[in-house]
Amino acid sequence: MSLTLSLSLRITKPSIPSSVADEDNTQIDQEIQNLVKKLDVCIAKFDQKRQVLEKAIESETEALKKDQNETRELRLNLLHESGATSSNIEAGSRKIANVKQWLNQKALISSDTSGEHDQGHVYFLLNNDCVP
């Protein structure tokens, strides 16, 4: 005759009343939903900032291309006219004055927008908290 003895152990957590557990779960769910909403707002703000920066870069690139083309045109005109200016000193002097004036204007414009305004704008965009 053989005897089999079986022993079973059961470890249980202390029971928490179901209403308290439900309340905790509800609170956690609400906190998760609030955090998800804040993250959605943050994502939207980052996207908006990215779009603003892309547009700023695009418009600055277009302005630089325009300035570059104007500069090339002035250079070509100046070189083309250099042979003719020996016979017409007054016309040559006007061309030189026009080019110098154009260069001075560009220097003034570039020093006015040396990036301080843009950097401030970018700084504001990048350092604006995304959490409302």
In a domain, 66, yes or no: yes
SS3 16: coil
Top-confidence residue, 94 or 72: 72
Distance in angstroms (rounded) separating the CA atoms of residues 127 and 131:
12
Q: What is the pLDDT of residue 22?
A: 72
pLDDT band, very low/low/confident/very high, at 91 (cuts 50, 70, 90): confident
In a domain, 102, yes or no: yes
Total count of domains within the chain: 1
Instruction: Tell if the pTM clears 0.95, that is, is over it.
Output: no
Q: Which structural domain range is residue 58 located in? A: 29-127
- Residues 16-63 have pLDDT tens digits of 556 666 777 888 889 999 999 999 999 999 999 999 999 999 999 999
In a domain, 16, yes or no: no
pLDDT of 96 over the 70 cut: yes
Task: List C-alpha distances in Å: 40 to 33, 35, 121.
Answer: 10, 9, 23
